[in-house]
């Protein structure tokens, strides 16, 4: 059998090569501390699991779900945005239910772009954004995220040709991999830019529930005029430890939401109603589990940063997400440093270059191991002697 040219042209998946390296190290008997993954390590809160159990026992939930998802979930999404961000959302026309936000991120170009249209993507950025480009046969160019600009897009760096040709741009704050956060003034600027240049915005808000030091990440929809030019995608994977459940949603611009719902009606019959009722429980019941999870990640962050600084590694503390974006020592490439840590210390980090050209010079470190294992990981790195001269 010969696969389609579309699949042949798909970009290689960055994390697949990382997984192979990790598995090879484990096969050799190495005790690996994996700080390179993005899969939450905590279980889904019990009340959400219980909601699924109850819903799964009801025969009326065993049939097809409505194409747009059950109304109660769309209403729960609207109530969630009103409670958390003070944003009014119409559950009938401004909400699309997604089988995980990755589906939404990949399918959006298929829904609103034509072949050859230009999509602007952040660099560094989530590698799977490129899958949507390939499937829709669109073009893409990157927007550099630079540390000197707090990893925010500088719209002044975009050329006149890019402004003229672009149909859509992706933004992502809190950012993966940099963990950078955005402000309302930044989103105001993005909306003004989008209006001036007739560009749609997709804001990937996957880590919106995880903010540190008492600061809550802001929603794109909190900025005035956001729904005129764009949508926001929010996943329950990170906020509620529901990564394997595959449930998320898009909210915002009616035309973009309608396009997503229309495309999905041709591809899917929504997700299992039992999972939708579990999502309702997550969004509407006690949010103490979110507070507890954020506190857990903040403690891990504090351990990571203090330990790195102790050994002479000059790093900045992330303000949100469960990642830290750390500079590699002088004389190393991102991949070379990541390979060294795996081979010599049994510590896995994600090479920054896998997230784009401007990720070179950094590694992404996850907060998805216990405090003890994080301390051990940094201790192993210390034993390599890389930072001894810096510390001295």
Query: Quick count: other Cβ atoms within 10 Å of Cβ 334?
Result: 22
The pTM is what?
A: 0.95
In this prediction, residue 392 carries a pLDDT of 53
> What's the rounded Cα separation, in Å, for the pair 308 and 311?
5
**Tokens representing residue 87 in the block:** 């944003």
In this prediction, residue 11 carries a pLDDT of 72
> What's the rounded Cα separation, in Å, for the pair 332 and 386?
11
In this prediction, residue 30 carries a pLDDT of 81
> What's the rounded Cα separation, in Å, for the pair 347 and 374?
10
In this prediction, residue 311 carries a pLDDT of 95
In this prediction, residue 323 carries a pLDDT of 98
Three-state secondary-structure class, residue 233: strand
CA-based torsion, 32, 34, 36, 39: positive or negative: positive
* Distance (Å) of CA 86 to CA 80, 81, 197, 221: 9, 6, 28, 9
In this prediction, residue 18 carries a pLDDT of 74
Best CA proximity match to 179, nearest among 377, 359, 372: 359
In this prediction, residue 391 carries a pLDDT of 58
Query: Quick count: other Cβ atoms within 10 Å of Cβ 279?
Result: 29
One DSSP character per residue, 122-188 reads EES--TTHHHHHHHHT-EEEEEEB-GGGTT-B-GGGS-HHHHHHEEEEEEESS-TTT-----HHHHH
> What's the rounded Cα separation, in Å, for the pair 300 and 288?
19
Best CA proximity match to 364, nearest among 178, 180, 212, 171: 178
* Distance (Å) of CA 384 to CA 36, 96, 289, 345, 381: 19, 49, 38, 8, 5
Question: 362-366 and 350-351 as β-strands: parallel, antiparallel, unpaired?
Answer: antiparallel
**Tokens representing residue 226 in the block:** 């956001």
Q: Which CATH architecture has domain 5-44+288-387?
A: Alpha-Beta Complex (3.90)
In this prediction, residue 318 carries a pLDDT of 97
Helices 371-383, 288-310: axis angle to 10 degrees equals 20
Best CA proximity match to 358, nearest among 180, 113, 163, 131: 180
In this prediction, residue 8 carries a pLDDT of 80
| Radius of gyration for the chain, computed over Cα atoms and rounded to the nearest angstrom | 21
> What's the rounded Cα separation, in Å, for the pair 280 and 8?
39
> What's the rounded Cα separation, in Å, for the pair 189 and 191?
5
Return averaged pLDDT per consecutive 10 residues of the chain, 392 residues in all: 80 72 77 92 97 97 94 98 98 97 96 96 96 93 97 96 97 98 98 98 98 97 98 98 97 98 94 98 98 98 97 96 97 95 95 96 97 98 85 56
One DSSP character per residue, 94-125 reads SEEEESSHHHHHHHHHHHH--TT-EEEEEES-
Locus of tokens 């303000």: 319
Domain spans in the chain, listed from the N-terminal domain onward: 5-44+288-387, 47-284
**Tokens representing residue 350 in the block:** 């994600």
Is domain 47-284 classified as CATH 3.40.640.10?
Answer: yes
In this prediction, residue 381 carries a pLDDT of 96
Q: What counts of helices (H) and strands (E) characterise the chain?
A: 16, 12
In this prediction, residue 371 carries a pLDDT of 98
């Amino acid at each position: 059998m010969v696969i389609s040219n579309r699949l042949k042209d798909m970009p290689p998946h960055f994390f697949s090569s990382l997984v192979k390296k990790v598995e090879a190290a484990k096969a050799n008997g190495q005790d690996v501390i994996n700080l390179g993954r993005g899969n939450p390590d905590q279980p889904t809160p019990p009340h959400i699991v219980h909601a699924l159990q109850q819903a799964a026992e009801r025969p009326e939930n065993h049939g097809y779900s409505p194409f747009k998802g059950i109304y109660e979930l769309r209403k729960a999404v609207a109530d969630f945005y009103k409670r958390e961000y003070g944003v009014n959302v119409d559950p009938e026309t401004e909400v699309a239910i997604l089988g995980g936000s990755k589906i939404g991120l990949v399918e959006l170009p298929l829904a609103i772009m034509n072949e050859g249209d230009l999509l602007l993507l952040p660099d560094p950025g989530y590698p799977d954004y490129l899958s949507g480009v390939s499937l829709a046969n669109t073009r893409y160019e990157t927007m550099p995220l630079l540390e000197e600009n707090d990893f925010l897009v500088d719209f002044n760096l975009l050329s006149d040709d890019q402004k003229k040709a672009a149909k859509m741009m992706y933004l992502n704050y809190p950012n993966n991999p940099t963990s950078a956060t955005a402000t309302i003034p930044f989103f105001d600027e993005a909306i003004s830019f989008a209006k001036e240049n007739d560009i749609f915005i997709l804001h990937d808000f996957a880590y919106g529930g995880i903010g540190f030091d008492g600061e809550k990440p802001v929603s794109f929809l909190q900025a005035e005029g956001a729904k005129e030019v764009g949508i926001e995608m929010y996943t329950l994977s990170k906020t509620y430890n529901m990564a394997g459940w595959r449930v998320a949603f898009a909210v915002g611009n009616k035309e973009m939401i309608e396009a997503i719902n229309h495309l999905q009606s041709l591809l899917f019959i929504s997700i299992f109603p039992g999972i939708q009722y579990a999502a309702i429980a997550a969004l509407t019941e006690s949010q103490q589990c979110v507070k507890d999870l954020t506190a857990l990640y903040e403690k891990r962050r504090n351990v990571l940063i203090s330990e790195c600084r102790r050994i002479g590694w000059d790093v900045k503390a992330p303000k949100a997400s469960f990642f830290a974006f750390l500079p590699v020592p002088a004389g190393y490439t991102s991949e070379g440093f990541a390979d060294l840590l795996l081979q010599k210390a049994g510590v896995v980090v994600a090479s920054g270059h896998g997230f784009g050209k401007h990720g070179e010079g950094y590694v992404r470190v996850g907060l998805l191991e216990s405090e003890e294992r994080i301390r051990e990981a940094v201790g192993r790195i210390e034993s390599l002697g890389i930072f001894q001269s810096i510390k001295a």
